[in-house]
Structure formats: C-alpha cells, structure tokens
Amino acid sequence: MTKNDAPKSTNFIHQIIEQDLQQNLNDGKVVTRFPPEPNGYLHIGHAKSICLNFGTALKYGGECNLRFDDTNPEKESQEYIDSIIRDVRWLGFEWAGEVKYTSDYFQQLYDWAVHLIKEGKAYVDHLNAAEMREYRGSLTEPGRNSPYRDRSADENLALFEQMKKGELEEGTCSLRLKIDMASPNINLRDPVIYRIRHAHHHQTGNDWCIYPSYDFAHGQSDALEGITHSICTLEFEDHRPLYDWLIENLPVPVVPRQYEFARLNLNYTITSKRKLKQLVDEKHVTNWDDPRMPTISGLRRRGYTPAAIRQFCDMIGVTRSNGTVDMAMLESAIRDDLDANAPRAMCVTRPLKVTLVNYEEGKEEWFELPAHPKDESMGVRSVSFGRHLLIEQEDFEEVAPRKWKRLAAGEAVRLRGAYVIRCEEVIKNAEGEIVELKCSYDPATKGANPEGYKANGVIHWVNAERSVPCEVRLYDRLFTEANPEADKDKSFLEFMNPESLVVLTDARAEPGLKDQAVETNYQFERLGYFVVDPDSTDEKMVFNRTVTLRDSWAKVQNNG
C-alpha cells in the first residue's frame, strides 16, 4: 500500500499527531509499531490495531515496525510468528526494515535492570506469588513493603546475577521496581520486572533463564526503536504511569508517548486468545483458520477480503469509548466489497433432477451470461444447457403457496439466462419423496418473455451432465448469543451454534468453476457469496459460504 491508500478519516490520535507535527516534535517524524505476542493467531480485534498503526504511519509519511513481544517463551511458537507475518502482509501492509523482536533487546534490558538496581530503584524479592498478592493491598487499602525491599545494591546485584546464571529455581525470587507500595495505582506498587523461567526461547534458545515483564520491556523497546506514538488499547491506560516512570528513570535514547484507544468488541464471537485456543485444542473447530473463527486467517478462509476488513475498521472508527460492534457491520462491509467485485455464477446446492421431455437427447447449447451484471469489464461466462438439468429442491413446490415465485406443478418459471420451462409431471420414490420433475421448455422464450402466459419468476440451474461436482460448506455465526460470555455461571461453549456449519456434499456448479484458484470469490446467484477453499481437489471443488445475500440474523432478532 502507498500513502494514497492511507485512511482519509481522522480520529483523536491523528489530531494529537497533527499537533505534534505542527510543533515539530520528534523532528517531524511519525513512527508507530504493531507489537503482537506470538502466543496465538491474530483476530479481528488485532486487525483494528494493525489498520490504525500501519494506516497512521502511511497517512503521515512515517514508518511502522512489526515487533514481536516475545517475553513469554512457554506460550509462544514459530507457527504463531509465521501466521502473524502472513496476516499483516495479507491485509496489505509492510513494516519498516526487518521484523523485530523484544528478544533482540534482552541484553540491553538486562543492562538497564542492573542500572536500576545500582540506582536503588530495583531489588530482588523472595516473596512468593501468594505472599506478593497479600502484601500488594487492594483498591481501597495500600500495600506493605516487602521485608526484602531494603537490601543493599550489592546484595541485589549478586542475587540478580545468580538469577541470570540459572542458579536459582523458578518462583524463588523476582526482580521488582522500588516505587511506592501506597500508590493508588496498583501498577506502581513495586511491579515485578524480571522472573526466572528455565524455558527454551524460540529466538534466543537457552541463552536466558530470566525474562522481562511486558511492562518493563515494552516502553524500552519503543524507545530503542525510536517509536514516537505508542498506540495501545484502553486496558493499558492504568499502566501508562509505569510506562512513563521507566522512560524517565532510564537513559533511553528517545522519549516515546503512549496513547490508548478502545479495543474492538464484536458480538456473536469471542476474541480472548485463551478461549480461541481452547476452541482449537478441544476440537470445537478444525483449527485457527476455521472459517467460523474470528481470526484473520479464519476470515480469510471464509472469503473475507483485505479491502473489506480495512473498510470495516475505518467504519467503526477509533475512540476512547468501549462498546460492542454489531457483527452485521462486518458482514455489510464484505457484502459491499463482493457485490462490486465478485463474479456471478450458478451453483445448485441441493439438487433436484429436471428432465426436459421435449428437448432433444444429446443436444447441447452454450449460453453466454455476464460475469457481473453491473461491470461489463469482467466479460462473459459460458454455461451449458441440455435435456437433463438440476435445480434447487427448495425452488419447487407441488402446490404453490400464495405469491410463490418459483416452480410448481403445472406452472412455469424462467431458468436464468435460458428458457421458460413448465412442470408437467412430478416423479416420486417409494417413500413419497420427489426425485425428478418432467418439464417442457418453450423454445420461443430464449431471451424473450413468453406470449400468452406468465412465468412465476427466475431460478438458477446447471446442466446435470456438464456441471462440476462440489462440496458447499454453509458457515454461520459460531455462537447463538450476542454475548456468549455474559452469563458467568455458564461456559461460553454452551452457546455454540449447532448450525454454524452445514456441509452439502452433492452440490453442482456451472462448468467454469472447475479448477478455480483458492480464495477466488463468487456470488452464487440467489444463494450468497462463496469462496474457493484450499480443500478443493481435481475431483471435487469446495466452496465456503462467506455471507448470505441479506442479513438473516436481523430477521431472526426481529421475530424473536
């Protein structure tokens, strides 16, 4: 993406940046960063942060770094790193220079911890986790000083060196800042900045057995990279005084500033990485890229496009007010994008055989239909027509209901781009199920309305002999409740939608859909928007439903 692709809208962060630029702060530079933890796949909430950080840098001719906050090796993996890199690039963004890691700065962070110890601003504490909670106090009562708080600098340096060399067991001690145990902000009550972890690190191997906390590493990494505007979500607002305290008490090369915005909460889903991992680990979904997941890779496999996600993030805006965004807004963004850009095609998902009794056996015609009715530049597509056709089971009723606009016994309907047909006979099996329709076609109705009678409507179809076998996966919202985490007495798993995936294995599509590339989007006429799935083979194409043509959930809610 170029500066021309940057968001045109503004927000309170952009207003701050514009004031900084007017005052020539930071030498007129804008440097942001996107700092994910590599402990899971990115989700739609991260997409908002990606678009904000990278989009802001683009808008003001600056740079944005991709930096992995890799301070918790036990929960991190190369798989997650690779997926995050892939997702950021897929969304259309590129970072400045090489990918960066907090682990790149482990030595400098260690040296700064030593600096704080020498300054009497950090100490090694032997309180265990439970004792530390007890000493910390509460929101209404101040904490108490640790009995180890007044150790000498020399003693603290020696203990910290032992921690670094792996001579002490996990949990026996930690390094804490010496700030104020009576502070009304609990984050300033002597926070832990180093813990012992005898864990292999995916970047540094076994070089370290002590790891810095997020609060200690984050601001200093920002400073080392020359970040001017450190943009994060509102849950870090209470951490900002600690961010600033560390910047003020360390010899950092530059002074970044932290700004907070409201995170993205989307109804009918969850964005807790811990709970998303639970869905994967317990096989409630197939993987992180399951099209029902709110992960970027899941949305991609579902058929969402980078442009639609960027548009959605622009639509919801950037504020400091927490709230929940309706899933319908995300679905509206992808409908708008695909309505303009997805070629049309016909696919029959639940086939019902139609035999045209007055159409010559073995005869075949090819009709040219527009690839997109509103965009001639997409050209035309060729569809095969013959004696044996397939239509949707739901497009036929033996006795037509009132205002029926499809096929019925003794009635006529138009086949999209072809002829008008009339149902002459209904064939049923021994169980009374309809298995075939005997119909006649009117050869005078090719591209023309019939004379003397009126067709009920227009339905889609495919040639039974030329059509492409395919599997259609009808994906829907993963949860039945708008807020699956609202009831604290129940697990969010209890609200999983049993209809979130319906697989139709006998679908048939028009010939041109054979061997289409993965992630090719289509509007299946009258059915919705679909995308080619990676599971497609030479024998059978697989299509995922991205979204229906209209918001069916709004109808459910209104009727409820």
Active site residues: 37, 263, 273
Q: What DSSP string runs through 106-154? A: HHHHHHHHHHHHHTTSEEEE---HHHHHHHH--SSS-----TTTT--HH
Burial class of 251 by CB neighbour count within 10 A (0 to 12, 13 to 18, 19+): exposed
DSSP 8-state secondary structure symbol assigned to residue 485: T
Q: Measured between alpha carbons, how far is 82 from 252 in angstroms, rounded to an integer?
A: 30
Task: Give the whole-angstrom CA distance, residue 343 versus residue 431.
Answer: 40
Sign of CA dihedral 214, 216, 218, 221: negative
Beta strand 351-356 with 420-428: parallel, antiparallel or unpaired? unpaired
Sign of torsion over alpha carbons 174, 178, 180, 186: negative
Give start and end residues of each alpha helix (H) in 392-537.
none
d(CA 549, CA 469): 23
255 bridge partner residues = none
Tokens for 218? 């984050």
- Interatomic CA distance for residues 357 and 45, integer angstroms: 56
Give the dihedral sign, CA 449/455/456/459: negative
